[in-house]
Amino acid sequence: MWRFLARRVGTAALVLLVITIIVFVLTRVIPSDPAVVYAGPKAPPEELARIREKLGFDRPLPVQYFEYLAGLLTGDWGDSLSTKRPVLQELASRLPATLELLFAAMLLATVVGIVLGVIATRRPGGVVDGIIRVISIGGVSVPAFWLGLLLQVLFVGRLGILPATGQFSKQIEYTSPITHVTGFPLFDSLITGNYVAWTDGLAHLVLPAITLAAYPLGLIARMTRASMLEVLGQDYVFTANAYGLREFMVRWRLALKNALPSTMTIIGLATAYALTGTFFVEVVFNWPGIGQFASSAMLAVDYPSIMAITLLGAFGYLAANLVVDVVQARLDPRVRIA
């Protein structure tokens, strides 16, 4: 098991190294002067030359890359050209909001997706199964930004029961300020007993969480349905039914337990996909996470920020795949020799 884990970690590290090379080259190919982005378009040529020297853009590309790689290993990811702050500080201040949204969306997608997948197998080909299949295909097919706008029109414009954008209302900062303990605002408001801020944050979380959960929910429901149909056709399930076990026991405990390994793989991959999918959702709902920072960095051609966000997304995807591989290896020892 340890050798298997070492191989997977080594492969992930190699992939990250290749990604750093690709991202570094692509950001340097963009026809834009980082010194102009940093100092502004009206900066004199002498100031631009000084900034290029300060940021190291006047050195050969191989030298710049190895300096950048050394900075990654030592925790120096450079300064944002637009905000003039260290990139790691920018990411650290926005990551909790993104992770809270990601956790809520994946919790919703996992629970609802598994339940729908199991219900669909009760009468395959029936009306309920058809409705669930339409919901699953729709969740996978509908673009996140379009679904977000549609939900805003319905629940904000027509019904007026949910807030449109933001993580908290503006007045929360003055009437019920959040005491930061862990850095996760919604969780901190709960553990400190600030229920006014907590309920307000939950109301703001509903629409973006549903929007982000639509795609993984469809995948999870379809995989659960397919795995359950395969398991329900096994001999031991017929034997359990012949012994007179209740349908709930057979379907929700015996069959689902053996159908979950395949579903867990999809959950891991969907989580990694949702990490980058939050960018579109955050822009639509003005969510103060990494997505807002990513969109502004791309518009400003902010090289260090773009590279850091790309590496963060790649790391999240590789970490999710690594967790899936380890879980699969624990469930099926044959995976370890692959």
CATH of the domain at 326: 1.10.3720.10
CB-count burial class (<10 Å; 0-12, 13-18, 19+) for 305: buried
Q: Tell me whether residue 241 is in a domain.
A: yes
Q: Which residues pair with 79 in a beta bridge?
A: 86
Residue pair 213/105 in contact by the 8 Å Cβ criterion: yes
Q: Tell me whether residue 304 is in a domain.
A: no
pTM: 0.83
Q: Tell me whether residue 78 is in a domain.
A: no
Average pLDDT over residues 185-203: 91
Instruction: Please name the helix (run of DSSP H) or strand (run of DSSP E) that holds residue 49, with its range, or none.
Output: helix 45-55
Query: What residues make up the domain containing 263?
Result: 93-290+312-331
At residue 79, the 3 state secondary structure works out as: strand
pLDDT at 200: 92
Q: Tell me whether residue 229 is in a domain.
A: yes
pLDDT at 109: 93
Q: What amino acid is encoded at 41 in this protein?
A: P
When divided into structural domains, the chain yields a total of 1
* Confidence band of 31 (pLDDT split at 50, 70, 90): low
Residue pair 215/225 in contact by the 8 Å Cβ criterion: no
Q: Tell me whether residue 35 is in a domain.
A: no
Q: Tell me whether residue 36 is in a domain.
A: no
pLDDT in tens, 205-224: 999 999 999 999 999 999 99
Residue pair 71/87 in contact by the 8 Å Cβ criterion: no
Cα 270 from chain centroid? 8
Q: Tell me whether residue 57 is in a domain.
A: no
**Residue 328 above 80 pLDDT?**
no
Q: Tell me whether residue 149 is in a domain.
A: yes
pLDDT at 326: 75
pLDDT in tens, 100-142: 999 999 999 999 999 999 999 888 888 888 999 999 998 888 8
Q: Which residues pair with 86 in a beta bridge?
A: 79
pLDDT at 79: 80
Higher-pLDDT residue of 5 and 19 is 19
pLDDT > 70: percent of the chain: 94
